[in-house]
Amino acid sequence: MTTPGPRYRNSANQTPPGRPLDGAVVAILATDGVEEVELTQPRDAVDRAGARTVLVSLRLGAIQAMNNDVEPAGRFHVDRAVADVSVADFDALLLPGGTTNPDKLRQDARAVDFVRGCMRADRPTGVICHGPWTLVEANVVAGRTLTSYPSVRTDIRNAGGDVVDGEVVVDGTLVSSRGPADLPAFCATIVEEFADG
């Protein structure tokens, strides 16, 4: 059976009415330095669609979000430490960006193992901006087509991924976008793909 190739989406796509994610549990893996809008807007989209989101981080407590990588924004309560979760606990995964957030995540073996496990178990995964750095570290981008913030693209290529410049790229269970400007399309697409997954 042949897997369909990557699909490209635009902001004209519509999320079906109703609550397509009722009963789904979505992990949001993030730490200090996460770009606030890349955490809150996807979280709110899947919450409105009926999912329960769980903020997973490197430790319990709160994480510090940022605006534009350099301006402190809100602080967010961590629900679970990554050391205490299992892929089996979740139906889908969100990886927001911000420059320092994925850089810290990719240096933590437990976070990398969790991401690798989600991808190998075909959990629908949404990743945006600098988020693919964690995917690269987990060695799960080879043969995949995705997009990202421009400065991450060489790392994806070097890890065997195919990079395109698109608002939203869907490759199997992986949904990717370039950055905050793509959030409306990204949010609509993750709801659709998480429901399909």
Q: Which amino acid is at 102?
A: P
Q: How far apart are CA 163 and CA 152, in angstroms?
A: 10
Q: How far apart are CA 83 and CA 41, in angstroms?
A: 26
The label of the residue with tokens 């195919």 reads 162
Q: Which amino acid is at 23?
A: G
Catalytic positions, written as ranges: 129-130
Burial of 32 (0-12, 13-18, 19+ CB in 10 A): middle
